[in-house]
Structure 1
Amino acid sequence: MTRQAPYPLNTWYVACTPDEIDNKPLGRTICNKPVVFFRGDEGRVAAMDDFCPHRGAPLSLGFVCDGKLVCGYHGLEMNCSGKCDSMPGQRVRGFPSVRTYPVEERYGFIWIWPGDSDKADTSLIPVLEWADNPEWAYGGGLYHIGCEYRLMIDNLMDLTHETYVHASSIGQPEIEEAAPDTNVNGDEVVTRREMENIPAPPFWQAALRGNGLADDVPVDRWQICRFTPPSHVLIEVGVAHAGNGGAKAPADKKASSIVVDFITPESDTSIWYFWGMARNFKPEDQALTDKIREGQGKIFEEDLEMLEAQQRNLLRYPDRQLLKLNIDGGGVQARRIIDRILSEEREATRVEASA
């Protein structure tokens, strides 16, 4: 019996960014599937199994020529639909096609549907209202992390850890003193935490200065974490000068952003983590974007170290039960939604197999 993957497959994941395939094919394992991405005819993105049907070489070690993916071993050429078109001195048009995957380039990312191609629906790609919007600026990056994807969701849906893991940047005792509030709206989980009349931590002091605001006065701070399947977390964060309405404060009284987290499983115990921050103040200031990106990258490096150590410990003690506290509500609810989707996929597979 085939073991079901621990992550949904009939859904959209971020696979890479456009710049990663600008000059050559990219090999990347997504949901335990080795995939090669490249730009084919007319610059459109294509994705297929990273496996040459001739001798099994990784196609990602090849190159693109005239919109065709050329195997770097013997020169077998494949088009965007996975069909073998030609090979020097050989007849290959009868070769079986390489499996392809639905892909879509949108919002500055390349998305992949690793499951049943017939079920792919581009309308299900989440709408990123800040993308391609001149009133917003975005800076981000990519980390490869050796942890199971749900551990990262847990991490992002409970920001209590900031007090300890990120003590020198965004952490402060007031975070753990403010109880989070969690709600479920269909497939969305929202965890909200608000803090009033507190000092701004170093990262947010810099953000206030970047927006031309005083950084040495009390602030109201908010964190609104939004999970949507399969593993996307967008977090509305910010600080406003105290007494001006917090998240609803006018733009000239606050510094706020959306923390962008797209978590793509590589394997059962590793992920591709696409992170970034979108802001709608001083979007034209590239130096500020670079500075925020640098600071955020250092923060996420701290998460990486903790999450990989956590994963090693869980593999070392697989039978130990973990405790659940009220601060874990967001992660717990997100896991329930994922479990339901996995159950639905399992039932759909059973029905299709018996038809």
Structure 2
Amino acid sequence: MQQAEARTQPQTTGPQNTWPQNAWYVACTSAELAVGEGAKPLGRQICGERVVFYRDGEGRVAALEDFCPHRGAPLSLGFVRDGHLVCGYHGLVMGCEGRTVSMPEQRVDRFPTIRRFPTIERYGFVWIWPGDPERADPAKLHHLPWAESPDWAYGGGLYHIQCDYRLMVDNLMDLTHETYVHAGSIGQKEIDEAPVETLVEGEEVITRRFMEGVSAPPFWRMGLRGAGLPEDSVVDRWQICRFNLPSHVMIEVGVALTGQGGYAADRSVKASSIVVDFITPETETSHWYFWGMARNFAADDAALTDTIREGQGKIFSEDLEMLERQQQNLLRHPDRRLLKLNIDAGGVRSRMLIDKAIREEQGA
């Protein structure tokens, strides 16, 4: 068992603004934006900004401030016509660049322009840049090699969670909680017993844990079956959590038949995946959580994808209740000081990167 040194730390540290602005965040999935005449736009709050998303006549994504320049109504309550967004209040027609196109029986040439947000549609997601549009560099978009390979399958979902997005980062960068929160699916006592290592490589924080000669928990017994391996096998298991700005966590997870090389074992003797976590702030105490799993075994098995998605959804719903209740406690006791142990190093290092990015934006 690890020896943990307890230190008291303030509950919140760093700049007052809690998220970087000049970064690409997942705003929605491509499937959430309907195509065609009469399609309904999508309204969503991202990093404190209320934004309306829709597709123009060419199917391209547009993202505008969710504010009609006429009377301030939400444009997300309107509809799409001829590739333009029509306000559902008085029929004002808005172009993709944020300029009013027309309005029944009215002159609109002097209507104020509303804000337009840079977007990229890639990997099945729509990404938004909430900061300075002049700095919106597509090259800074998080690269997902698995999303470009036919050898991988992906399935996922979305949760709207009422807590500070950084609490989810903490949660994902310290998987010790699996033993307790997810005891019936992915948790096992060996997680507590295995040493955890945290390191920083450039702008990436890595927390990793390896377990040798263990029994596979229920979720990974299913994974072994899906990979065509005996589900009751003794396995070596790994968890490698990778945090990248602004708030993405990719977790390499898997099991291999014991003694075959563990994480480095041949694909024929293991079931491995990447837990995909895109955490997009909504407000100071809420966020959008785009979760999923990419796997490189049985990639053409759609039924297995659905089964994994269902199982993963149940696992993450258990996190949801814990995190929302944690947030309520923190709001109720804002002056309490929280303990930091060595198992919290991944979350602490991740927050340090977030705070550094914010300070740089503010010119501090």
User: Above 0.5 in TM-score?
Assistant: yes
In the TM superposition, what is the alpha-carbon distance from 1:85 to its structure 2 partner? 0.5
Corresponding residue for 2:302? 286
In the TM superposition, what is the alpha-carbon distance from 1:41 to its structure 2 partner? 3.1
Q: Which runs of 5+ in 2 are unaligned?
A: 1-14
Distance 1:337 1:176 in 2: 26
Residue of 231, 239, 246 corresponding to 1:223: 239
1:173-252 counterparts in 2 under 5 A?
173-252=189-268
Corresponding residue for 2:325? 309
AA aligned to 2:76 is: S
CA contact (8 A) 1:157 1:191 kept: yes
Q: Which runs of 5+ in 1 are unaligned?
A: 349-355
CA contact (8 A) 1:11 1:120 kept: yes
Corresponding residue for 2:130? 114
Distance 1:88 1:234 in 2: 49
Are 2:17 and 1:5 aligned?
yes
Q: Secondary structure in 1 aligned to 2:172? A: helix
Q: Secondary structure in 2 aligned to 1:191? A: strand
Distance 2:284 2:156 in 1: 25
Q: Secondary structure in 2 aligned to 1:263? A: strand
1:1-355 counterparts in 2 under 5 A?
5-22=17-34, 23-347=39-363
AA aligned to 1:260 is: V
Cα shift readout 1:320-350 (whole Å, capped 9, x = no counterpart): 11101110010010011111111111117xx
Q: CA, structure 1 residues 291+106, in 2 after alignment: closer, same or farther (shift >3 Å)? A: same
Q: Secondary structure in 2 aligned to 1:130? A: helix
Distance 2:246 2:91 in 1: 37
Q: Deviating runs (4+, > 4 A) in structure 1? A: none
AA aligned to 1:18 is: S
Distance 1:179 1:81 in 2: 53
Q: Secondary structure in 1 aligned to 2:148? A: coil
Distance 2:59 2:21 in 1: 26
CA contact (8 A) 1:189 1:227 kept: yes
Distance 1:287 1:105 in 2: 27
Cα shift readout 1:234-265 (whole Å, capped 9, x = no counterpart): 00000001000111111111000000000000
Distance 1:259 1:68 in 2: 37
Corresponding residue for 1:353? none
Cα shift readout 1:140-193 (whole Å, capped 9, x = no counterpart): 000000010110000000000000000000000000101110110121001110
Report 1 or 2 for greater relative contact order, CA contacts < 8 Å, sequence distance ≥ 6. 2
The TM-score, its normalising length taken from structure 1, stands at 0.96
Distance 1:114 1:286 in 2: 35
Distance 1:234 1:111 in 2: 17
Distance 1:283 1:48 in 2: 37
The TM-score, its normalising length taken from structure 2, stands at 0.94
AA aligned to 1:315 is: L
AA aligned to 1:48 is: L
RMSD over aligned CA atoms reads: 0.9
CA contact (8 A) 1:225 1:235 kept: yes
Deviates more, 1:181-190 or 1:160-169: 181-190
Distance 2:294 2:40 in 1: 28
In the TM superposition, what is the alpha-carbon distance from 1:94 to its structure 2 partner? 1.5
Sequence identity (%): 68
In the TM superposition, what is the alpha-carbon distance from 1:4 to its structure 2 partner? 5.2
